[in-house]
A and B are shown apart, each in its own frame.
Chain A
Amino acid sequence: MYSAKIKVTLRRSILDPQGKAVEHSFQSLGYDKIKDTRIGKFIELKIDASSETEAKKMTDEVCGKLLANPVMEDYEYEITSLNGDK
């Protein structure tokens, strides 16, 4: 069994109005050194795969097909084994 931790964020080229709004709040709180705030999604799931390669392949597939829209979003993920093996 493997665990996948997936982050989906708006592509860098796309303005993130939520991130901007949050950053304005940082400034109101006096944190004027915080820059470039981006808001994204965090998705965690388990995969009953026989190898890490298979788990990665499956994660890439579901990210490409469903979890991220390549027109506006990028994704990255971390796979960890839950069995203590690799």
Chain B
Amino acid sequence: MTKAKFGVIVFPGSNCDHDAYNTLKHVLEQDTEYLWHKDSSIGNRNVLIVPGGFSYGDYLRCGAIARFSSVMKEVVRFAESGGIVMGICNGFQILCEAGLLPGALLRNENLKFVCRNVTLNVENKKSIFTGTFNGVPNKDRIVLPVAHGDGNYICDENTLSELESNGQILFRYEDNPNGSLKNIAGIVNKKGNVLGMMPHPERYSDDILGGHDGRYIFESVINYLN
């Protein structure tokens, strides 16, 4: 199997970049490199990770400043030409701000930062990011950690009906931790090559960290590329 070439973007204030790098490089043994926010090229990478954290201190709105950094121009270009992009947590917020995903993420409904494991229902197992769930028995439900203050997904009614009818909602919370519309935890764009999700698969891909349900998401991408 050919190794995927992952690029993990690092913004000032990213704090899940190392988790993502460790999971991809050392747990899944893929070709993995960091990309700095000032880079003007993504090199030969064929999957980009926009990681979690507090890019630019979450000033103004989460993700609002990061989306104007120079590497993001390349991320947008890459995504628009069909490249695979995964935004996790703050990365999801950045991709919404950049217009690569519809909707926005508001402050959690109860105003509290939520940090715990949640159960997710896998709604669509045919996507680039969920293909391997088909082969794993009892993987309609997975457990992943969440850690965010702004995960309350919203979009307008037309967008929601498009998301539903195109199968763009990949994950829903079983017990909603943030008030998100229709329990949405993760979506893809219409073409299906850009993922945004609030839960952290990169923090839950190695049993030493408590579980490995996150692996299936990265392995789906690796399988897809092969």
Choose from A14, A18, A69 the contact partner of B97 (Cβ within 8 Å).
Answer: A69
Cα distance A18–B111 when bound, in Å? 7
Q: Count of chain B residues with Cβ under 8 Å from any Cβ of A?
A: 17
Report A-chain residues with C-beta under 8 Å of the C-beta of B60: 41, 66-67
Give B74 Cβ to nearest chain A Cβ, in Å.
19
Which chain A residues have a beta carbon within 8 Å of chain B's beta carbons?
10, 14-15, 17-18, 21, 41, 66-67, 69, 71-72
Q: Name the segment of B45-53, B100-108, B206-214 touching the other chain.
A: B100-108
Q: Tell yes or no: B40 within 8 A of A by CB.
A: no
Cα distance A21–B109 when bound, in Å? 11
Cα distance A14–B106 when bound, in Å? 9
Cα distance A17–B111 when bound, in Å? 7
Q: Tell whether, in the assembled complex, residue B154 and residue A17 are in contact, meaning their CB atoms are under 8 Å apart.
A: no
Chain A, residue nearest B104 (CB): A71
Q: Give residues 90-117 of B contacting A (CB, 8 Å).
A: 96-97, 103-104, 106-111
Cα distance A17–B110 when bound, in Å? 7
Q: Tell whether, in the assembled complex, residue A69 and residue B107 are in contact, meaning their CB atoms are under 8 Å apart.
A: no
Q: Tell whether, in the assembled complex, residue A21 and residue B104 are in contact, meaning their CB atoms are under 8 Å apart.
A: no
Choose from B103, B111, B154 the contact partner of A21 (Cβ within 8 Å).
Answer: B111
Give B178 Cβ to nearest chain A Cβ, in Å.
11
Report B-chain residues with C-beta under 8 Å of the C-beta of A71: 96, 103-104, 154-156
Report A-chain residues with C-beta under 8 Å of the C-beta of B154: 14, 71-72
Cα distance A21–B155 when bound, in Å? 23
Give B30 Cβ to nearest chain A Cβ, in Å.
34
